[in-house]
Structure 1
Amino acid sequence: MLTVSAHLPAAEVAQEFFATVTLEAGERRLRRRSLRLSTGEDILLDFPATITLDDGDGLELSDGRLVGIKAAREPLYEVTGKNQAHLVRLAWHIGNRHLPAQLEGERLLIRRDHVIREMLVGLGARVCDVEAPFSPEHGAYHGHSHGTENHALRLQR
């Protein structure tokens, strides 16, 4: 089985992907895992610490080929407010419940949960069902391979 030798942030990918792997948000946070590529091949990812793979990132294989990461479409709620101040208030209520959320300029994306939907509607939000790639904001204490260092994570073998 081929192994992953490096993780490259999307901004540092300089070559074409020979294959891709599509993963949901929860599946893109990993340390050691076997992944099935779009070609049907399996690869082994085994990093020294947990990382989060983002849409467009690359995984360099031991043979030099590059695999692309695709964020899977997931069933989500699109949450919008009456204005920016209202949206910030809605975001606070979501965060107060420790729910993963993708923060965008005019909307929030969260996983579907009928109880949370009722709460948000009760607070005056507009909540719509959508299917989209989900890249929730990471917590303040979340270790992320991209960090302030802007280089590929390479494995020492």
Structure 2
Amino acid sequence: MIRATRVIRRDALQTGEIVDRIVLDSGDRHRRRMAMKGVGGLAFLLDLPAATVLDDGDALALEDGRLVWVEAAAEPLLEVRAASPIALKRLIWHIGNRHIPAEIGEDAVYIGFDHVLADMVRGLGGTAEPVERPFRPEGGAYAGEAAGHHHHGHSHSHSHD
């Protein structure tokens, strides 16, 4: 099986024969090694030296020089907004306290669709509207590790001795 061994970032992509494309959600865009199949049927093995976050518009370079285009899939999300910047910061704090991936925009935060979190946001005075769009969650302080799968030594157990 042919391997894809290198990522070419969209801003560095100049020339090359794009032979297929893959459409991936945010979880599948963070990989190191995985068998993949393009929309056009090209089967290949993603075989990168380290786990890498692929973004919309990047390309995967196959061993023979051909390219596979990366497209970010639309995902069901909640668009969280608030009446003021300070109110949005408070909502971000509550969302972050739940350790869920979030994409922080200028005046909105995007999280995976979850009716419980939508109710929480609304209960705190914000809005939480369902949207479908590509999801680009923050890498966080542990960006060198798998996004959303890091271990940060924060325990949730509490002693009552």
With the shorter chain as reference, the TM-score category is 0.7 to 0.9
Deviation >3 Å, runs of 4+: none
Displacement of 1:66: 1.2
Secondary structure in 2 aligned to 1:27? coil
Which ranges of structure 2 fall in alignment gaps of 5 or more residues? Answer: 146-161
1:155 corresponds in structure 2 to: none
Q: 1:134-149 residue pairs with structure 2 within 5 A?
A: 134-143=135-144
1:24 corresponds in structure 2 to: 25
2:5 corresponds in structure 1 to: 5
Higher relative contact order (CA 8 A, sep 6+): 1
Give the TM-score normalised by the residue count of structure 1.
0.87
Displacement of 1:18: 2.7
Secondary structure in 2 aligned to 1:99? coil
Displacement of 1:5: 2.6
Displacement of 1:109: 0.7
Contact 1:15 1:66 in 2 (8 A): no
Displacement of 1:24: 0.5
Displacement of 1:118: 1.0
2:53 corresponds in structure 1 to: 52
Count of aligned pairs: 144
Secondary structure in 2 aligned to 1:117? helix
Report sequence identity in percent.
42
Larger Rg: 2
Contact 2:5 2:49 in 1 (8 A): no
Contact 2:36 2:45 in 1 (8 A): yes
Residues 45-76 of structure 1 show CA distances to partners (whole Å, capped at 9, x for unaligned) of 11232111111111111111111111101111
Which ranges of structure 1 fall in alignment gaps of 5 or more residues? Answer: 145-157
Displacement of 1:15: 2.3
